[in-house]
Amino acid sequence: MIRTEFIADVKKLVREWKSAGLSIGLVPTMGYLHEGHASLIKKAREENDRVIVSDFVNPIQFGVGEDLESYPRDFEADCNLCESLGVDLIFHPSPEEMYLPGFHSHVGVDTLSTNLCGKSRPIHFNGVCTVVTKLFNISEADRAYFGQKDAQQLCIVKRMVRDLNMNISIIGCPIIREDDGLAKSSRNTYLNAEERQAALILHKALTKGEELVKSGETDASKVKQAITDIINSEPLAKIDYVEIVDASELQAVETINGEILCAIAVYIGKTRLIDNFFA
């Protein structure tokens, strides 16, 4: 496996691979890889001749007061995992390599970025779209792999690719959970033992919500209320949002009758966790 910090190295390899007619899969990550990432890498490995993993904590998607500095990092462990999964290239640029002095260009997706996580993280999705566009251009990947845990991110990236005619297929992959149901996330590492236990309330609440929808409840407010009540029963949990939106435009629905996304963000202590289901 090749490791590099430099865009020029990636471009050189990509040129060689492309001229040999090889397909490329990209797994964009912020590192501190876990089994959720591993599932994306395995899928990319199955579907492409070459696999690139980017490992970059993207500063422009963090707002003031968010966890940019404390975001967990372990590049050696990431390399070991990638190597064991047959990754061809791990790209680990510095912020200076990605954002040259005088960097002023941004990519954004209106409307889809303003609700759900966009309400409390107003610059987040423009930062994501911008870095992802750069990674697509650098890697010239045929396919890129994203987890459904970040459901809004997945919808936004798909829409950006469609709207801007980008030459790449976006593959969404299912949420990977711990045995007790907590969705895998690099941020789970912030939780102490008591908080880790309390964090189970997210999955518990969503499971109830999903059961209600599957059993035919169409009143979104009733489903949201049931989820809210369960989360509020956990003293360490503080709700950021509980929303039911249509799965395409991500706008709140009153009646559940097409494909919906039920998404939640909850603080457990100081750690903000997200989870969701589609129905």
273 binding ligand PAF? (CB under 6 A): no
Cβ proximity to ligand PAF: between 66 and 217 the closer is: 66
Burial degree of 241 (CB within 10 A; 0-12, 13-18, 19+): middle
161 binding ligand PAF? (CB under 6 A): no
Only one of the segments 72-80, 97-105, 128-136, 256-264 lies at the binding site for ligand PAF (rule: CB under 6 A); that segment is: 128-136
168 binding ligand PAF? (CB under 6 A): no
Q: Which one among 28, 36, 118, 209 touches ligand PAF, defined by CB under 6 A?
A: 28
Q: Which residues pair with 252 in a beta bridge?
A: 245
Is 124 catalytic? The answer is: no
CA nearest to 77, candidates 90, 93, 65: 90
Beta-strand relationship, 260-268 and 237-246: antiparallel
In whole angstroms, give the CA distance from residue 241 to residue 267.
10
Q: Which one among 89, 132, 155, 263 touches ligand PAF, defined by CB under 6 A?
A: 132
Helices 200-214 & 220-232 angle (0-180, nearest 10): 160
Indicate which residue of 37, 92, 106, 203 is catalytic.
37
In whole angstroms, give the CA distance from residue 250 to residue 246.
5
Q: Which two tokens stand for residue 236?
A: 């360490």
30 binding ligand PAF? (CB under 6 A): yes
- Closest distance between ligand PAF and the C-beta of residue 20, in Å? 27
Interaction site with ligand PAF (CB under 6 A): 28-30, 58, 61, 128, 131-132, 150, 153
Catalytic residues: 37
